[in-house]
Structure 1
């Protein structure tokens, strides 16, 4: 509890407040006494609250509420502005514009600075003076109320679908443009524009952004943008820009494919702007993340965010951190991968090469990806890996403490090569020969077409080997493979213990996908160590098949 404060003045203010409140009990003790000599004490907050009724600010507020202040200026204001412009000339003026006119009249007539005068006081005095002759309308898209004359034939309220409001704003709104319409046609045109704007504003308020947190790649696609952009907003912009003349369609209008993305981009900008960045859209999230990973420049992200094209740099960091947390909370296998489907794992080193004084202490870790062919709509969703739906609480966290990596130690043993296989090599090559008969013929045809010059032609316009086979395949296009990122191993792959951890994780992934074996792709440095470990582990030998990277295979081919 706060301590008592001794009275250090003659107590005139306290006595005046007691008289104003007619506090006879206190007056009996204070009247005719020297408050300092009798050592009057009180709490400072209680004293301020008690004497507030006799302070200048309180009296001023009371006078404003009662309509006593600025009476000469208010009379002139009612005659020249309200009566002449609003009632006689049917003007529609925002109340903050009327307030500014009133303040200027006070300064000119009474030479008083009334810049702190509130809209609520002017509104109350106008209601007391004019009653039902004027009305106050607040469109949903505006903070400032509109003041106009009230007439029985006025259909503005019906056209705008505006409800009367008695809410009083205590904020000083900035001066806005006066809506003056001296003819019925001009006023009707203005009301129609406001009506259209209000409809679009209501549509923007109902629109929903990306709800999932953290948003994943499937939440930031063009199709997802189509889903969250309201049809009414899309059609309105298509009609405004002249990209569509279909004014009778209730569904989304058809536009050219090259401009659809631009319309979706503008729609998402409007959603982002109207919500002041609270509604996240695929465009703003994906663009911010792309700029971060391509350039790493927070200044560039800040410029784009200032123009309303992407989220802020802090939001990008929050998104990136949430994705990392979700990955760490999973079971080590990305979502969406099906069981009993051929899968390939790729492991490689990832060296950042930071600049240090000694050249040591730089970052060396091991990254992996999982690749699986997309089987299309025939895949049973129940066979998909269910480990992705890990809930992450939305927070302001923008950094992440790297968790320790469990490295499986490898203890060296005497080296020995692989055991002799019992496969019949001739039978294997014979079976492969039958399967490769048609591809070999295609390669021979490609070689002949490339080497034989056609008479009369300056050059051979045959495409490359890939384009050649695509032409022969016709319209048959293989599905795009699914790619997922595996948890990072915070250790260098040059260490055999790290390679042993890679092989152990590969077997775990094969178990989760119900695969008897799985293909592991790596470069030559990891390959040599992995083979040495594999030959000494029966499970690795039976379940892991190693493949060198294509670049390494090409180098070996060129050396032979």
Structure 2
């Protein structure tokens, strides 16, 4: 008699049959899982290990292949929910001994062979991404002596990432150099990067948590189909459903599953089933869940039975799980957060445009913030506002607290994943003052400003927007404007700009001509406000955009053979001045009064200087000048061709703005050579430009002329002997 046990025929595993019921998959009739997750498959293996049924006999020998996703499997979602249900497992295996973990050799960690990885060739494919050689990504062979260290780094990264596929692949090839393994440099550096590993773990944790909760909810739906929505129409306490749901989460390996709140489950059930489910509330007791098809009398009768059961001593543990005051507060906060998020979602944000200068004031920043969010933050931070329940919607209450507005901008930026004027402005201010990339990224991590990449993207967008003009460069602030002043004027100032003028190797030097425009008049744009700046996706200028034709093309100045002479000075008597006018007499009286007051206050001078006094006494309100910086001309500033070029540019800009003449201020070095050019009377500049010295250089020249005339006549000795100046200072003054 043959006493050998019968040989169990292993069922075929493929993607066309369910690995639990072994029936063909039909997505039209039942919901099918084609790409199961690692956690979902692990739950099936745990359940089969406890059941020890035919499913266990079929899938357990192929555990490593299935979990490493080298062998594709599929199953019905309902089959998996029933198969891994804790209550179903306990019913089918009541014996405790049958639920002990298996210690057979099947659970040992085995190494997969190269024959089991038929779709992958380590000699022709990257052992990270599995792709072959491409024109962009060339495969790099593992060099001598680095195979072991490379393998250890990839194994460590795979363990941190919980990447079973790469982990099993490394176990299959113990010596990468011997197997002539190849990889993409970019794939390898990205895979072992600690920053990318941290991001992958965070993303995997979020996806896994969401997937596990979805799988647990699917199992809970199957439980509800057998109870609440069954033919018996069972009335079930909400706390029992929560316990069942938490049990599913624990079986799936979810951490902190016991902390799941009852009200969260209630909201999810209500959202999913809608009118199909009814929640009956009892004061001091858990809510009762029943089907909407149950009659009112049956619901009250069954609820009364459950209520009487919860009052008995053996059910004292049920009321302890009833939502407490803390749960109620959390529910209120969750609802408030939903209201605020809805209002923040309604904010109109133009992602492809940066705000103009006119839109960066506190009024526009306040308009960006919803009133509900502003009031909520104000109540949280201000005791007075919380006590008086003041709202910005009330009459007379202004939304002008900059600190509250800044907090609201930070919250909106984090919620919507957008930038605002305050978060962008703070990063630009830090970049301008300190130039620290590390500090900007640190503030970005704390949610206070945009990232350093966004700062570079903004600077690039501004540079492209400012330089996108015709041959004659006009600053954007002066384009498309309408002057509302009576006598507007545009004047300019030119000077040399030196930074690291002389270095040891002659590199990293800057010696250029700088120019600034001053628009003295009130301006208003045609559309009422400034135009925004288009936001570009790139973070740097191209090679062709870094050099502007405006600042590179020099107009050569041909110096005349004979040095030009200054034009003759007109007779002063020809100047028409009405000496008897009331305005002239009033000005002389004011000037005389200022002199008397200045002389009378010898001990403690309280009268301001002449310029300040006339500024205080003047009845004319001058507008604040608008300053516009022009691109540098990268050439020696004292060269005649450089000066001639900048003068031509300024005349062209003035003509473009409708001004036939322009006043240009310069220092002594540039002024002297500019006057030589003007004395030659070039046709492009004659009658269109006037040069003047700056205030400090004019004073220096005036004092130097006094020294030229009287320095040798004893003036130097008088200044030194009278102890007015020291000898060295007196020589420099004269």
Normalised TM-score (structure 2): 0.53
- C-alpha contact (below 8 Å) 1:229/1:264 kept by paired residues: yes
User: Taking structure 1 as reference, are residues 417 and 253 closer, same or farther at Cα in structure 2, changes over 3 Å only?
Assistant: same
Q: 2:567 aligns with which of 402, 406, 419?
A: 419
How far residue 519 of structure 1 moved from its aligned partner, in angstroms, is 0.9
In the comparison of the two structures, how many residue pairs are matched? 448
Q: Is the 8 A contact 2:375 2:391 kept in 1?
A: no
1:223 & 1:248 partners in 2: Cα distance? 17
Counterparts in 2 of 1:121 and 1:528: CA distance versus 1, 3 Å: same
Aligned to 1:166: none
What is the correspondence of 1:401-550 to structure 2 with a 5 Å cutoff?
Answer: 401=543, 402-403=546-547, 404=549, 405-413=552-560, 414-420=562-568, 423-428=570-575, 430=577, 437-453=585-601, 459-463=604-608, 468-469=613-614, 471-473=616-618, 477-536=621-680, 537-550=682-695
- The DSSP-based 3-state class of the residue aligned with 1:483 is strand
Where 2:493 maps in the other structure, the secondary structure is strand
> Does the 8 Å contact 1:347/1:521 carry over to 2?
yes
Q: Give 2:467's match in structure 1, choosing from 306, 312, 328.
A: 328
Question: Which protein has greater RCO, CA pairs closer than 8 Å, 6+ apart?
Answer: 1
CA distance in 1, matches of 2:622, 2:607: 22
Q: Is it true that 1:268 corresponds to 2:409 in the alignment?
A: yes
Q: Would you say the 8 A contact 2:17–2:74 is kept in 1? A: no
Q: 1:395: which partner in 2?
A: 537
Q: 1:501 Cα deviation (Å)?
A: 0.9
Match of 1:199 among 327, 339, 353: 339
Q: Which moved more, 1:298-307 or 1:337-346?
A: 337-346
What is the alpha-carbon distance in structure 2 between the residues aligned to residue 480 and residue 527 of structure 1?
Answer: 26
Q: Are the equivalent residues in 2 in contact too, given 1:366–1:489 (CA < 8 A)?
A: yes
Which residue is 1:31 aligned to?
A: none
Distance 1:390 1:241, change over 3 A: closer
Partner of 1:280: 419
Measure the CA separation in 2 of the matches of 1:415 and 1:473: 44
Alignment RMSD: 4.4
Answer whether contact 2:424 2:455 (CA < 8 A) is retained: yes
Deviates more, 1:519-528 or 1:334-343: 334-343
Q: 1:445 to 1:286 in 2, by over 3 A?
A: farther
Q: Is the Cα–Cα contact under 8 Å of residues 235 and 252 in structure 1 kept in the other structure?
A: no
Matched, 1:306 2:445: yes
Q: Is the 8 A contact 2:427 2:452 kept in 1?
A: yes
Q: Is the 8 A contact 1:269 1:309 kept in 2?
A: yes
- Structure 1: segments with no counterpart, 5+ residues: 1-11, 24-50, 78-105, 156-179
CA contact (8 A) 1:208 1:279 kept: no
> Which secondary structure state, in structure 2, belongs to the residue aligned with residue 410 of structure 1?
coil
For the pair shown, which has the larger CA radius of gyration, 1 or 2? 2
Match of 2:435 among 296, 299, 317: 296
Shift of 1:218: 2.9
Find 2:265's aligned residue among 114, 138, 147.
Answer: 147
The aligned residue for residue 223 of structure 2 is 129
| Gapped regions of structure 2 (runs ≥ 5) | 1-8, 24-57, 67-71, 108-204, 229-235, 246-259, 270-276, 283-319, 707-734
Using the alignment, how far apart are the partners of 2:648 and 2:353 within structure 1? 31
CA distance 1:152–1:123, change in 2 (3 Å): closer
Could you tell me which residue of structure 2 aligns to residue 250 of structure 1? 393
TM-score (norm 1): 0.67
1:340-369 deviations in Å (ceiling 9; x for gaps): 831111222222216743346622222222
Residue 558 of structure 1 and its aligned partner are, at CA, apart by 3.7
